[in-house]
Amino acid sequence: MTSDALRATDVRKIYQTRRFAGWRRATARSGRAPDDGAVEALSGVSMTVRPGERVGLLGRNGAGKTTFLKIASTLLTPTSGEVLVFGQDVDREADQVRALIAVVPQEGKPFFHLTPREQVYTYLRARGLSRETALSRTAESLAQMGIEDVADRLSVTLSGGQRQRTMVATVIATEAPLLFLDEPTIGMDPFARRAVWECLRRLTRKGSTILLTTHYLDEAEALAERLYIIDRGTVLVEGTSDALKHRVGGTLRVSVKGGKEVEALFASFGHCVGDGEAVHVITEPPRLGEIMEVAVRHGLNATVGPVTLEEAFLRAVGRSIDDEAS
Ligand SMILES: Nc1ncnc2c1ncn2[C@@H]1O[C@H](COP(=O)(O)OP(=O)(O)OP(=O)(O)O)[C@@H](O)[C@H]1O
Ligand SMILES: [Mg+2]
């Protein structure tokens, strides 16, 4: 048996889609190359997750994160490649794998006609847990997710964030060896998000393994011990949050209000990123004095902060977009 909780090797997924017939006729008449309706969502993804790790999957909309999670959690068959969960093949040994995993799907909803308490309890019983364990785990996870006060109301009456908390409560209550969470904190308030982070940390301390996706990079930084950034179906980079930030080319960010003319002033001090209203110069501490001197000389306001994971992400994915364009 392999020592990895998850090992994916060269996973590809091509979706075959139907096209709008009118569009097909129009493109045929225009002489443009026919679109065969194939979408390559994953073009050879390999990754490993060790037992007890919390790993984050980051990427733009459409990068392939959900597709990968669906394949790894036996909901979708890969076009080629292999995913092993605790040594078992997700395609050929799907039943065995399902007993080892639990999934919070993207945009999943609790059953409208069940209460959160019924939903969590029923799910645990369906997974084969005893009545006593299911009862105590249900109470515990509802409390951890802060939804005891609405636990006996039909889910249809809950707010969006309360429904999402119910979805997470259902899955954390399983304490499954491997948890897949696709944007688990979407729509949650900052308190609820922190409650999820704490629950997931506690679960990994108890031995579970976690693979999650998120667009909140503060969440990725707070929660994930290792990150994979994927873009257009391939892994761009892998590493700790600090390692990814290191690749940006500096540890400090100096922000100066202004546009292209400001960028020209600071270009020699490090990588410059414009965001419309300001220019951010990514640099190292020894250059800070000179940068501030230039700012003062030109009467510009400059603020200094640490490089964020967001900058690392924008840089890594931005390079990939540039490569695609060239
Ligand atoms: N059932 C499907 N049929 C055809 N194409 C699909 C299907 N599901 C996803 N795709 C396409 O595959 C690509 C990857 O989609 P996926 O849902 O994996 O992205 P994602 O990284 O999860 O994005 P998001 O951050 O928006 O959730 C996209 O181009 C998407 O349009
Ligand atoms: Mg997705």
What are the extents of the domains in the chain? 6-244, 249-306
**Distance of CA 66 from the midpoint of ligand 1 (Å):** 7
Q: Distance of alpha carbon 205 from its chain centroid, rounded?
A: 21
Residue 23: pLDDT over 80: no
62 lines ligand 1 (CB under 6 A): yes
Span 162-199, pLDDT tens digits: 999 999 999 999 999 999 999 999 999 999 999 999 99
- State the CB neighbour count (10 A cutoff) for residue 288: 16
Average pLDDT (58-86) is: 97
Alpha-carbon distance of 133 to 100, in angstroms, equals 17
Confidence of residue 21 (pLDDT cuts 50, 70, 90): confident
Ligand nearest to the CA of 216: 1
| pLDDT at position 24 over 60 | yes
For residue 34, name the pLDDT band (cuts at 50, 70, 90): low
253: helix, strand or coil: strand
What is the CATH architecture assignment of 6-244? 3-Layer(aba) Sandwich (3.40)
Inter-CA distances, 27 with 14, 21, 37, 38, 40, Å: 22, 10, 13, 16, 21
The CATH-assigned architecture of domain 249-306 is 2-Layer Sandwich (3.30)
Lowest average pLDDT, out of 128-132, 148-152, 154-158, 248-252, goes to: 248-252
Query: Which of the listed residues 14, 15, 103 should we mutate to test ligand 1's pocket, taking the one with most ligand atoms within 8 A of CB?
Result: 15
d(CA 4, CA 85): 8
Is the pLDDT at 36 greater than 90, yes or no?
Answer: no
| pTM for this predicted structure | 0.90
Q: State the CB neighbour count (10 A cutoff) for residue 272.
A: 20
Establish whether residue 16 lines the binding site of ligand 1, counting it when its CB lies within 6 angstroms of any ligand atom: no
Give the pLDDT confidence of 193-215 residue by residue, as tens digits: 999 999 999 999 999 999 999 99
Tell me which H or E stretch contains 168.
Answer: helix 160-172
- Residue 45 near ligand 1, beta carbon < 6 Å: no
Phi, psi of 246 (to 5 degrees): -60, -35
Q: What is the mean pLDDT of residues 19-47?
A: 78
- Tell me the β-bridge partners of 101: 178
Query: Does residue 67 carry a pLDDT above 90?
Result: yes
Task: Please state, in angstroms and rounded to a whole number, the distance separating the CA atoms of residues 162 and 142.
Answer: 11
pLDDT in the model for residue 250:
83
| pLDDT the model gives residue 32 | 65
More confident residue, 272 or 155: 155
Which residue's CA lies nearest to atom 19 of ligand 1?
A: 62
Mutate-to-test residue for ligand 1 from 61, 75, 180, 213, highest number of ligand atoms within 8 A of CB: 61
